[in-house]
Amino acid sequence: MGGLKQEYLDKIDAIVDQHKDQKGPMKLMLHDIQDELGYIPFEAMVKIADALNVPVSKVYGVVTFYSQFTTEPKGKHVISVCLGTACYVNGAQTILDLLCEMTECEVNSTSENGLFSIDATRCVGACGLAPVVSVDGTVFGCQKQLEDLKMLILDYLKEEEPC
C-alpha cells in the first residue's frame, strides 16, 4: 500500500474509524471517502475490509456495483451529460460532442491536464429540462441554458491558462 500519500491514508483511517461501529457502515465509509478524495482507491477498500472483517472482494463488489462510486480520480470539474431518451432526442449527443471538443476530454475519462472529467449518464430524472448537463453538481437544462454552460466551460479554461 505505498501508492497513496500519508495524508490520504490518514483521512481514510479517520473515516473508517468514524463509521465502523455503525449499522451498514460500508456504504457510509465509501461515500465519505469518495467525498473527501474524489474517488475510492484500492487502499481504502483494503482498510474498509480489514475494519469490517470482510473480504476485499466484497467491498470491491459494492464499489463497482453502484454507479455513483468511482475507482479513478476525477478532474477538477466533473461534467455529466444525460443520454437518457428525452435528453438524447433533444440533442444531448451533440452537446456531449461539443463538450468533449471544448475540454479535449474523451467520454467517461479525465482530460490530460486533470481539469475536466466527462461522464455520459443515463436518465437523471429531469426529463422536463431535457437535455440535461451537470457541472460540479450544478444542473443545466433546456436549450436556453446551453449558452451559459459554454461560457462556464470557457471560464474554467481561462482560469487554467498561464499568465
* Binding-site sequence positions for [2Fe-2S] cluster: 82, 87, 123, 127
| Interval 39-89: pLDDT, tens | 999 999 999 999 999 999 999 999 999 877 899 888 999 999 999 999 999
pTM of the predicted model over 0.75: no
Listed by start position, the domains of the chain span: 6-65, 77-160
Q: Which residues pair with 81 in a beta bridge?
A: 120, 133
14, pLDDT greater than 60: yes
| Interval 93-146: pLDDT, tens | 999 999 999 999 999 999 999 999 999 998 888 899 999 999 988 888 887 777
* Distance set, CA 40 to CA 8, 32, 52, 94, 110 (Å): 11, 10, 17, 31, 16
The residues, ordered by sequence, that sit 6+ positions from 83 with a Cβ below 8 Å of its Cβ are 92, 93, 96, 120, 121, 122
CATH superfamily of 77-160: Glutaredoxin (3.40.30.10)
What's the pLDDT score for residue 24?
77
- Going 103 to 104 to 106 to 112, the CA torsion angle's sign is negative
Q: Is the separation of the CB atoms in 121 and 82 below 8 Å?
A: yes
Mean pLDDT of the 144-156 span = 85
Q: Is the separation of the CB atoms in 22 and 28 below 8 Å?
A: yes
* Binding-site sequence positions: 82, 87, 123, 127
